[in-house]
Amino acid sequence: MQVQVQLLTSAHDRANFRCGEVDLDRWLETQALQQQSKNTSRTFVLVDEANPEAVLGFYALTISQADGTAVPSKRSLPQVVPVIRLGRLAIREDLQGKGFRLGEILLLNAIERVVEVSNLGSGVALVVDAKHDKAASFYRKYGFRASPDSPLMLYLPISVCRELVMAP
């Protein structure tokens, strides 16, 4: 399987995507393109090059802000800091746990985009609101650290994002 990450378009089959989380499935089907057209988020889909209409997985990015005291950092930060939010990340249920590492492909693609955005604008971290402990443990493997106030609110400093992008 040769996969590729693309910006979501109406050509992608959103209606048949199922990841095991009904709210994520519904959001992709009914909200992702609307939010994209309103410039409130960007959704990227993972597809097999042999069948580019079928969505294998997706993630969404938004520009946001966070309480500077909640961001794990070695240096002091202002009260409010710019962040890039990973709003959703999901893999089709029948492909989960099969050794394809599709979640990793999507996360690393998101991190590359976050580095590009931070180079052009600003942002101190990539932040994700993990849905549950299982999701949080996935993100922790890549260096995300929990907010002192919320164990499911995870941050990856932009400096770490840059290191991950530069790693061979």
CA quadruple 49, 93, 104, 52: dihedral, nearest 10: 10
Neighbours of 80 (CB within 10 A): 11
Phi, psi of 8, deg, nearest 5: -60, 135
3-state secondary structure of 3: strand
Q: In terms of residues, how long is the chain?
A: 168
Beta bridge partners of 44: 7, 59
Classify residue 125 by burial, with Cβ atoms within 10 Å: 0-12, 13-18, 19+.
buried
User: Contact, 165 vs 112, CB < 8 A?
Assistant: yes
Q: CB count, 10 Å around CB of 61? A: 19
Is residue 139 annotated as part of the catalytic site, yes or no?
A: yes
Choosing from 59, 139, 142, 155, which is the catalytic residue? 139
Question: Known catalytic residues?
Answer: 139
